[in-house]
Structure 1
């Protein structure tokens, strides 16, 4: 099974040269948040037992590269990353003793995207495939998914206004990023398109019903 999954990953299309703006913005935001919390650092030994999401050492892969890897192989919709961002925010609000830092951010990212893809997309890969993408075992992926769902109280539904508010937050992140990196083009087409077109009344009701099914 592992060999089949590895072959599926290797056969995916090459990654586009330009990541969607939602990936760039979310990577930048999570990088800033994790570095800020690192500066408030707890002793290293505390990371060994603070949560299932905490690694013993900081992963060598950057947040940006990790999200690019997920984008390349998971094939989930751009809107999944917005919803994953919302789920992450819900998690840290409900679990204040597990702040996002460099020790847990990668596991939180892969788990939130997995949960979001299952809720948002009609088709998505299974946990074993996501575990391969994320560089963890299937057993760990299963455990993280369960911990994450309990961590957000199984609150999976996202309203249109909430979704648009988080799109606006990522737009502001792109503005800040472009201010400090003037060579970047300040393009917000992806985020604006998502903000306008994600939901209509029919699709919103479908996702509400899907939440009830998932919770059962």
Structure 2
């Protein structure tokens, strides 16, 4: 799905992912009274003042990772929330989950990538906190980092389709999904793949560090 990896399409993809995560976070904020949610290292004491879109745009501007990393980061967020149903994405944890998922994706996908200290500066957190977030994210994923070509292209197809439908989606009230909120069927995104899929050749792109 080279279309989504094109630099000219990336701003639209960033905007769409931001909009989707915003709807999910707001829905799960409202859902907190009905479904107990655990507090984790990803939770801030207050909601960050920076919007999800501005935050993701900042990551996109400074991380310099390959376009594929954002697709894979989204796969990781999906897997994380499926494996950790008591930790749905909400306004208190979405920013830390985003910076961590992109960093882990860059380390897995790209030949060259920035270190944790750099991502901590991009994310507005300390290096120590970034290190803790990475470890917790990896354990939350069960260290399941491999993304097969089939999985990658399925996510790309979904995102392309939903980006085309975005005007219609913006007029639909967001509903908590099973991906981000326990016990609900997804109307935003919910992919379940075979954990035994064969390994794929990593998509790589050299970056100037």
1:177, CA displacement in angstroms?
A: 1.8
2:201 maps to 1:205 = yes
CA distance in 2, matches of 1:95, 1:29: 19
CA distance in 2, matches of 1:64, 1:206: 27
Between Structure 1 and Structure 2, how many residues are aligned? 169
CA distance in 1, matches of 2:157, 2:8: 25
Contact 1:92/1:99 (8 A) holds in 2: yes
CA distance in 1, matches of 2:201, 2:64: 24
Q: 1:52 to 1:175 in 2, by over 3 A?
A: same
Describe the superposition over 1:96-144 as per-residue Cα deviations: whole angstroms up to 9, x where unpaired. 0000000000000000000000000111000000000001000000000
CA distance in 1, matches of 2:148, 2:108: 13
Larger % of helix: which?
1
Q: 1:175 to 1:17 in 2, by over 3 A?
A: closer
Find the counterpart in structure 2 of residue 39 from structure 1: 30
1:42, CA displacement in angstroms?
A: 4.0
2:163 maps to 1:163 = no
2:103 maps to 1:114 = yes
CA distance in 2, matches of 1:181, 1:32: 9
2:42 maps to 1:53 = yes
Contact 2:109/2:202 (8 A) holds in 1: no
Find the counterpart in structure 2 of residue 5 from structure 1: none
Q: Structure 2-normalised TM-score?
A: 0.74
5+ residue gaps, structure 1? 1-15, 183-202, 208-216
1:41, CA displacement in angstroms?
A: 2.5
Contact 2:48/2:92 (8 A) holds in 1: yes
Question: Aligned to 2:201, what secondary structure does the other structure show?
Answer: helix
Question: Aligned to 1:205, what secondary structure does the other structure show?
Answer: coil
2:58 maps to 1:69 = yes
Q: Structure 1-normalised TM-score?
A: 0.72
2:69 maps to 1:80 = yes
Q: 1:205 to 1:175 in 2, by over 3 A?
A: closer
Answer 1 or 2: higher relative contact order, Cα 8 Å, separation at least 6.
Answer: 2
Question: Aligned to 2:200, what secondary structure does the other structure show?
Answer: helix
Q: Which has the larger radius of gyration?
A: 1
